[in-house]
Amino acid sequence: MQTRLRSALIGATAIAVAGAVQAADLTPKEQIQTRQAGYSFMSWNMGKIKSNLEGNFSQPQVQAAAEAIAGIANSGMGALYGPGTDQDIDDVKTRVKPELFTNQEEVGEVARNFIEAADNMAEVAAFGDEAEVKKAFGQLGESCKACHDKFRKD
């Protein structure tokens, strides 16, 4: 738990401060593509956990999926929301709302909640109690939805 908590804090810190450092490595277009890659990969793993909860429950598969999500969540994706990434670039479309770039306090809050829920999901998956996994999965889904509702265009 301590490791996960530390990871969560590192992740939250990275979201808050890593932007300036790492955004320099990628063009705005690459930043949008890379953050979308992260969300796509997390979505696949969310789907795997969901299908395990709905079908035959494989603890190793759920744990692997949860650790992939936690790893991505803690990777400092805030760095992928640099200047110029608030709008479509060529054929790369983004659904991010302008508010994400102006409401840093609320962004930090939803990001921290997401990271904590992802870390909790990974912790619970390691033990593998299906009822606990279902609860943690619901909480993680809510933390995703909180950001989508506030900062993603539909």
Q: Which is nearer to its own copies, 80 or 124 (CB)?
A: 80
CA torsion sign for 41, 72, 144, 108 is negative
Position among 1, 2, 60, 131 found at the interface with its own copies (CB under 8 A): 60
CB neighbour burial string for 95-133, b if at least 16 within 10 angstroms, e if fewer: ebeeebeeeeeebeebbbbbbbbbbbbbbbbeeeeeeeb
Stretch in the footprint of its own copies (CB under 8 A) among 22-30, 98-106, 131-139, 144-152: 22-30
Q: Of 150 and 152, which has the nearer Cβ to its own copies?
A: 152
| Minimum CB distance to its own copies smaller for 63 or for 113 | 63
Binding-site residues for heme c sit at 144, 147-148
